[in-house]
């Protein structure tokens, strides 16, 4: 009877040719990288993507378009507030929002088409449609162009990513109440923007609109912004954002939303309870985090285990409890970051191909792309202290860095934490222009178990902002020269 039921379920499907070695559900940073790597390792590979464009949230409505708008808005802000100081004067500065959005859209479409090109080059079969597991070796796909098909694979990788976390009682319409997706596509600059959630996404999107003229208020339930950040860096970061005219309402919860008027009225109260107040906004951005996109894709039908948060449980080879079914990226536990998903994807297919894969989750860098940027890798001082290890800290302010002073962009610092006995680096935290680029020197150092003295004795080009990392390392095991 089971076989008969399965046969009847398959009627009306066009089977997609022969069985693949690897079928990837999801074409985001984890999925498309896994598909390309699998093909490079000689495995017949199919990638299924429901969006009709590759690159996932990151490329279409996340990391890439947000960086485009962060860069464009920074250029406008610099022109408005800094150019005259550098001897560049002009009149009649204005924002052309449609042109700014067009530049962002052009970058996105060029990159998504680039991934399609990489699929063709590596002979990855690309199926556009919504994939759902119907057995441990079969995925039914509702095709974007209509109709359905069955894709068969010896190994299936769930790379379905994550979705915006909704808040109870707050309905996202992507017009007045927006997610990060809507915040990337506003058609006019809101006079007042309220951001619910002080994580990196909210602060980045808040920065874009703040620079373009919005009055930005950030409402956060927790006592701190970006809770994963080193405490000392966080305090300085918050001060810097306040200097940029951000307003923060911490330890505050949203208890009511009224969208009946032209704008939005939010009723808020202290997190611990207390007197309610109403704040008005033209647009409200909900950025309370992300949740795994794992419901409705057939996991329960084939018995794949997930945790309470919907994350797929995997072993150290990325395999689920169902043989032949794997999961990577935002769909499994760990930091919800595109670059982490890429590492998962490569390691997962290496295991499938009979090789050894490896991801070191202790050396995954995190970056907040505000200005200045904040980047970190390894442990915060709070985490090191809690572990009971004796440690030492070295810091260096950007005010003492010649390149930062020369370009008149010297807000920030570098902080290095190393083990007292061995001087092995445990964590590096940077707040500076270009911190997201500089951090990789620290990532490499942690990967190879380097000491602060190793970096301090490595020649750094002068003048560069990177010298601040060298000086912070000098200050960790000995003394900095320039302070």
End-to-end CA distance of the chain: 79
**Residue 201 marked as a ligand binder:** yes
Q: Is 161 annotated as a binding residue?
A: yes
Flag whether 131 is marked binding: yes
Is 269 within 8 Å of 253 (Cβ atoms)? yes
Query: Can you tell me which residue has the tokens 């909210």?
Result: 202
Annotated binding-site residue? 67? yes
Dihedrals φ, ψ of 93, to 5°?
Answer: -85, 130
Handedness of CA 239, 244, 249, 251 (dihedral sign): negative
On whether 382 is known to bind a ligand per the annotation, the reply is: no
Q: Which of 447, 463, 471, 239 lies closest to 359 in space, CA to CA?
A: 447
Catalytic residue from among 86, 358, 440, 462: 462
Q: Does 324 belong to an annotated binding site? A: no
Cα 159–chain centre separation: 15
Flag whether 438 is marked binding: no
> Is 13 one of the annotated binding-site residues?
no
The alpha carbons of the chain give a radius of gyration, in whole angstroms, of 24
Return the H-helix or E-strand segment holding 209.
helix 200-211
Tokens of 246: 């951000």
CB 385 within 8 A of CB 410: no
- 3-class SS of residue 49: strand
The Cα–Cα gap between 250 and 319 comes to 40
Helix residue ranges per DSSP H, 244-380: 299-302, 338-352
Asked if residues 329 and 314 have their Cβ atoms less than 8 Å apart, the reply is: no
Q: Which residues of 315-325 are buried (b: 16+ CB within 10 A; e: fewer)?
A: eeebbbebeeb
* CB under 8 A, 24+ apart: contacts of 164-168: 164/286, 164/290, 164/291, 165/288, 165/289, 165/290, 165/291, 166/286, 166/288, 167/196, 167/254, 167/286, 167/288
Q: Is 162 flagged in the annotation as binding?
A: yes
What string of DSSP letters covers 382-419? HHHHHHT--EEEEEEEGGG-HHHHHTT----EEEEEEE
337 annotated among ligand-binding-site residues: yes
Whether 2 is a known active-site residue: answer no
Strand-strand pairing, 283-286 and 177-178: parallel
Asked whether residue 143 is marked as a ligand-binding residue, the answer is no
Q: 303: annotated binding-site residue?
A: no
Q: Is 362 annotated as a binding residue?
A: no
Q: Is 199 annotated as a binding residue?
A: yes
Contact yes or no for 379/427 (Cβ under 8 A)? yes
The catalytic site residues sit at 462
Q: Give binding residues for NAD(+) as ranges.
A: 197-204, 220, 289
Q: Give binding residues for FAD as ranges.
A: 67, 131, 160-162, 330, 336-339
Q: Give binding residues as ranges.
A: 67, 131, 160-162, 197-204, 220, 289, 330, 336-339
């Amino acid at each position: 009877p089971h076989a008969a039921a399965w046969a009847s379920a398959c009627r009306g499907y066009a089977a997609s040719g022969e069985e693949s070695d690897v079928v990837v559900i999801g074409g985001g940073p984890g999925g498309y990288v896994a598909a390309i790597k699998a093909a490079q390792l000689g495995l017949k590979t199919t990638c299924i993507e429901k969006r009709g464009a590759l690159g996932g949230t990151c490329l279409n409505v996340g990391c890439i378009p947000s960086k485009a708008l962060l860069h464009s808005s920074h250029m406008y802000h610099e022109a408005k507030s800094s150019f005259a100081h550098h001897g560049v004067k002009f009149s009649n500065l204005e924002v052309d929002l449609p042109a700014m959005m067009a530049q962002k859209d052009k970058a996105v479409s060029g990159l998504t088409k680039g991934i399609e090109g990489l699929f063709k080059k590596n002979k990855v079969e690309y199926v556009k449609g919504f994939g759902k597991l119907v057995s441990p070796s079969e995925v039914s796909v509702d095709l974007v162009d209509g109709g359905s098909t069955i894709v068969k694979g010896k190994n299936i990788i769930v790379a379905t990513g994550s979705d915006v976390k909704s808040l109870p009682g707050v309905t996202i319409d992507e017009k007045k109440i927006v997610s990060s997706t809507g915040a990337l596509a506003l058609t006019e600059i809101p006079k007042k923007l309220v951001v619910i959630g002080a994580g990196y996404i909210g602060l980045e999107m808040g920065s874009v609109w703040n620079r373009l003229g919005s009055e930005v208020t950030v409402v956060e339930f927790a006592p701190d912004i970006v809770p994963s950040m080193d405490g000392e860096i966080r305090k300085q970061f918050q001060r810097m954002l306040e200097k940029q005219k951000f307003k923060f309402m911490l330890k505050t919860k949203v208890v009511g939303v009224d969208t009946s008027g032209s704008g939005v009225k939010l009723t808020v109260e202290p997190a611990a309870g207390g007197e309610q107040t109403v704040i008005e906004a033209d647009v409200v951005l909900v950025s309370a985090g992300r949740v795994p996109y794992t419901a409705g894709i057939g996991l329960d039908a084939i018995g794949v285990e997930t945790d309470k948060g919907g994350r797929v449980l995997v072993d150290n080879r990325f395999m689920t409890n169902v043989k032949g079914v794997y999961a990577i990226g935002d769909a499994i536990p760990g930091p919800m970051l595109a670059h982490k998903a890429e590492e998962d994807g490569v390691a997962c297919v290496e295991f499938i191909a009979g090789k050894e894969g490896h991801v070191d989750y202790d050396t995954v860098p995190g970056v907040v792309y505000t200005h200045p940027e904040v980047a970190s890798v390894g442990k915060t001082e709070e985490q090191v202290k809690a572990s009971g290890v004796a440690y030492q800290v070295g810091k260096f302010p950007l005010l003492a860095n010649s390149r930062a002073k020369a370009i008149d962009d010297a807000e920030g610092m570098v902080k290095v934490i190393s083990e007292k006995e061995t001087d092995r680096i445990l964590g590096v935290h940077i707040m500076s222009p270009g911190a997201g680029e500089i951090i990789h020197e620290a990532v490499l150092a942690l990967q190879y178990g380097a000491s602060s003295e190793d970096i301090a004795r490595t020649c750094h080009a002068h003048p560069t902002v990177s010298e601040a990392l060298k000086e912070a390392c000098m200050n960790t095991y000995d003394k900095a020269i320039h302070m």
